[in-house]
Amino acid sequence: MARTLAMFTDTSLCIGCRACQVACKQWNELGLEVPDWTGTYQNHTHFTDKTFRLVRFIEEPKPTGDLAWLLMSDVCKHCADAGCLNACPTGAIYRTQFGTVNINQDVCNGCRYCVSACPFGVVSFNENTGTAKKCTFCNDRIHNGLGPACAKACPTESIQFGFRDELVPKAQKRVETLKAMGFKDAQLYGADSSGFLGGLNAFFLLLSKPTTYGLPENPKLPQKNILVDSLLSIGSAVLVGLGALVAFRQRGPGGEG
Amino acid sequence: MALLQSAHWPFLIDVYFFLGGLAGGAFVIATAALIIDSVRYRDVTRVGYYLALIALLPCPVILIVDLGVPVRFMNMVLTFNPLSPMSMGAWALLGFSTAAFLAAFLTLLEDLGKARNLSAPKLIVGVIGGFLGFFLAAYPGVLLGATSRPLWINAHTLGALFLAVGGSSGAAAIALVLAALRRRSRDGIARLATTTVLALLIQLIAVIGFVWSVRASGSTQALSALTLITSGPYSTLFWGGAIVVGSVVPLLLGLVALKRPSVGLTAVMSVLVLVGGFLVKTLIMAAGQV
């Protein structure tokens, strides 16, 4: 496997211009959507089959009573332990040699299990194609030595693209700088490859706790439930099966009718 | 709050989960009757095997119709992914369908007088198919638990619950058919009533386990989805339909039937069990996808 590619989104540099969102739509020919009125500048409320990059506009109350903008360009995390990839019953979802996670549109049959399995609500179902859709890290571009369209378009380098083993130390350094500047809640989300989901190949620098951005604090790989749930099912099967055998074996009052 | 998405599986999938469970449960109970006494419980085995196949017939159709690209349904059986309960379920459906067809076919040969006693091959098909049948009944619950939907990922007894519903509804369906056919199988019906009571008890324990594990998770989103069932818009159907009418009342009727076997009482109990089992699965599906 080639060196893992990653995207580091530094939310402290995001100015909410949505160039990334537009570049993503243009390069991937995702088409138009009717905007949602969310009460903020954010459009849309969540990822869709035509919105793979989504700039979140969050208003966080400050101790002074004012509101502070928290801006975050969100994207598929290309998890090292990907719930969608594990869930896929057709093998349509696969990992590339760069560590990214893609959906083969010619194999996906639209069962939508990955949509429910994704811990971040990224994978979306497209009614027209009947298949699941999500960010590919601009698979065609990265295979030709170009960065993803969103990273290329970002005017503030809030989205940085490169090798994961180079980006993580850079991100850690940036956290230290921000903390020294007084951003005490600055933290990395998904950079630790020994952390949740084996680390995220699209990881973030956040200025507040993850839940403020709508990100789960400690996302869980849904397939981790399979062992316990299966063992309990086997227990239930043994009881129901033995119950049936005992019921038919016992000497009952009915007798052969 | 985390912004999750839902597959929005439609009502038809609830029907599939119910029919698949019923088919698996009926098949296992038919096999249990066959193992204990193939002559004495001949009608239970016959009806059970026929019923399993009939309940199974709409299942592949439902699953194929629900796909975004139905012509690619075969892609499910070109991959074997043990980490995906849906992949394993597709294989179980294929394997169990084969077993259910063979068991019904062997039974038909006996019924048509083409063969006198096929108990031995039926036993082999019954035991292998029984494992697959139970798998088919349980896997949808494990499948739901292996999603990120807050209500399901925090509940650990869905597989156990779905299996018990399969057992209770399978036994109830056989009893109901036997009662409707007015065949002289009072003994078999009495045994089925006992089986239903035992499966209902496990079903109720699994429901309690479901509510307990979701509450214990402390997840705000899971609790809010659970509230839909326990005190929200689905609560009347849940408490009134699934629990009281669909579980507790038939359990009491079943206990009466244990003392005094009655075909009529078992038939009423069976109808209630079928309604209750369907409601339990449907409401958990609905609340988990909101």
Q: How much is the pLDDT for B125?
A: 98
Distance CA A18, CA A29 (A): 16
Give the residue from chain A lying closest to B153, CA to CA. Answer: A222
pLDDT band (50, 70, 90) for residue A1:
low
What CATH code is carried by the domain that includes residue B183?
Answer: 1.20.1630.10
Q: How much is the pLDDT for B104?
A: 98
Contact check, Cβ <8 Å, A240/B199: yes
Q: How much is the pLDDT for B186?
A: 84
Look at residue B93 and tell me if it is in a domain.
yes
Domain A5-220 matching CATH 1.10.10.10: the answer reads no
- Residues of A whose CB is below 8 A from B6: 115-116
Q: Are B84 and B120 in contact (CB under 8 A)?
A: no
Q: What is the mean pLDDT of chain A?
A: 94
Q: Give the structural domain span for B36.
A: 11-289
pLDDT band (50, 70, 90) for residue A255:
very low
Distance CA A178, CA A173 (A): 9
Give the residue from chain A lying closest to B21, CA to CA. Answer: A237
Asked if ipTM goes beyond 0.90, one says: yes
- Residues of B whose CB is below 8 A from A215: 2
Q: How much is the pLDDT for A256?
A: 41
The full set of domain ranges for chain A reads 5-220
Transcribe A95-118 into DSSP letters: E-TTS-EEE-TTT-----HHHHH-
Q: How much is the pLDDT for B253?
A: 95
**Which of B78, B145, B202 is the closest to A239 by Cβ?**
B202
| Strands, E assignment, A75-215 | 93-95, 101-103, 124-126, 131-133, 159-163, 187-189, 202-206
Look at residue B270 and tell me if it is in a domain.
yes
Interface of A with B in 74-103 (CB under 8 A): 83, 86-92
pLDDT at A205 over 60: yes
Give the residue from chain B lying closest to A112, CA to CA. Answer: B7
Q: Does A38 touch chain B (CB under 8 A)?
A: no
Look at residue B1 and tell me if it is in a domain.
no
CA-based nearest residue to B289, from B207, B199, B193, B221: B221
Look at residue B4 and tell me if it is in a domain.
no
Structure tokens at B93: 């459906």
Half-sphere exposure of B230 (CA within 13 A, CB side): 14
Ranges of chain B with pLDDT below 50: none
Look at residue B271 and tell me if it is in a domain.
yes
Sequence-ordered alpha helix ranges (H) in chain B: 11-36, 42-56, 58-66, 85-111, 119-145, 150-153, 158-181, 186-217, 220-230, 235, 249-259, 263-289
Q: How much is the pLDDT for A254?
A: 46
Contact check, Cβ <8 Å, A226/B146: yes
Contact check, Cβ <8 Å, B90/A229: no
**Which of B2, B76, B261 is the closest to A90 by Cβ?**
B76
- Residues of A whose CB is below 8 A from B75: 90-92, 107, 109
Domain count, chain B: 1
Give the residue from chain B lying closest to A83, CA to CA. Answer: B147
pLDDT digits (tens, 9 = 90+) for A113-124: 999 999 999 999
pTM of the model: 0.95
Q: How much is the pLDDT for A17?
A: 96
